[in-house]
Amino acid sequence: MASIQLSMSIPSFSAEARTDWAHLTQWAQLLERCGFDRLLVSEHIAFGMNMDAYADPRLGGTTGGRQPTGPDGPWLEPLTVLTYLAARTDRIRLGTNILLAALRPAAILAKTVATLDVLSGGRVDLGVGVGWQREEYEVVGLDFDKRGAILDQTLDVCSRLWRENEVSYFSPSLSFERIHQMPKPVQPGGVPIWVSGTVNRAVARRLARFGKYWIPWGQDARDLADGIGRMRAAVERAGGDPHGFGVTGSLRVTPGPDDRPDLAAVATDAAALAKAGATDLRLTHWPARFGTGERTLCDFVDAVRAAAGG
């Protein structure tokens, strides 16, 4: 069985105002010591008042989901957070889950991410998606209904600026000639792009063109084996390699009879996700009741790796 990777999201947001973000460093260093491959932070630029859109799958939301902070909860900018954590870690990879990449001018995003990759020694992963909130696009002057096309153009420009010494680009909305941007990312071919979304033609095309990994969403994440099969077929129809991308599987941890993490259940879930085709197991939430004890988290990592072949 191929080695599987293990990732975890750490909270760079809060439901309440806070003055101390030291937990970011504590979590990053703890995950590194316990052998996680990757830490992840998420993003929101700003909020409107329509929190119900978070649960609308037609907009990219999750059925039954609830936005965790309300409109006034603080959210730190993710690329800044990852730069901060790059200086406080040595090995662990640094990723976004997800970055709303279309909200940034492409050349600025390419420069920012390349700089982070250089300073971190080539440890960056860029997870991207279109998001669910119309107001977030409006506040930066972009058309929410064109968010997919804007994201594709952003990824196209970034990928070319990362790979090519001189870039010319022509489209109805963006044109430039003979642009040079240095330094390039440390990672050959540029920073790996993780494409988030459900199985549909637009996401499949995006994954075929730019993605090295797929972050399934909604029902495709809940029935991973079926989702992977349909996405491989969709990527092939889009002209991509149906086996040329890795896949994220969402891993949850629940309490056992002793009110500690149920490692047997975790192992069962990890093995099932690996069998379904996941190459990256992603822990999206570590319950506060389990604390941040190093031995507990390291035992969790050992159980997952033993079960999933990592």
Residue with tokens 């050992």: 302
Q: What is the pLDDT of residue 19?
A: 85
Q: What number is the average pLDDT over the span 229-235? A: 98
- For residue range 247-264, what is the model confidence (pLDDT) as tens digits? 999 999 999 888 889 999
Beta strands in 167-283 (DSSP E): 167-170, 175-179, 193-197, 213-216, 246-251, 280-283
Lowest mean pLDDT among 1-5, 100-104, 142-146, 242-246: 1-5
Confidence at 223, pLDDT banded by 50, 70, 90: very high
**Average pLDDT over the chain, rounded to an integer:** 94
| 60 vs 150, more confident | 150
Cα 9 to the chain's mean position, in Å?
A: 9
pLDDT recorded at residue 198: 95
Give the residue, 230 or 60, on which the prediction is more confident.
230
What pLDDT, on the 0 to 100 scale, is given for residue 159? 98
Q: How confident is the model at residue 53 (pLDDT cuts 50, 70, 90)?
A: confident
For residues 124-141, average pLDDT: 96
**pLDDT for 59:** 77
Q: pLDDT-derived band of residue 1, with 50, 70 and 90 as boundaries? A: very low
pLDDT of 60: 73
Supply the pLDDT for residue 2. Answer: 56
pLDDT score at 295: 92
How large is the average pLDDT for residues 37-65? 87
If one compares 51 and 111, the residue with the highest pLDDT of the two is: 111
For the chain, the C-alpha Rg in angstroms (whole number) is: 19
Ordered structural domains, the chain, with CATH: 55-191 (3.20.20.30)
What are the two backbone dihedrals, phi and then psi, of residue 197, each rounded to the nearest 5 degrees?
150, 175
Q: Give dist(CA 207, CA 13) in Å, integer.
A: 28
Q: Please, which pLDDT band fits residue 225 given cuts at 50, 70 and 90?
A: very high
Most distant CA atoms of the chain, gap in Å = 64
Report pLDDT digits (tens) over 83-129: 999 999 999 999 999 999 999 999 999 999 999 999 999 999 999 99
For the stretch 154-212, pLDDT in tens is 999 999 999 999 999 999 999 999 999 999 999 999 999 999 999 999 999 999 999 99
Burial of 5 (0-12, 13-18, 19+ CB in 10 A): buried
Per-residue pLDDT at 29: 97
Rounded to whole angstroms, how far apart are CA atoms 207 and 59? 19
Per-residue confidence band for 273, with pLDDT thresholds at 50, 70 and 90? very high
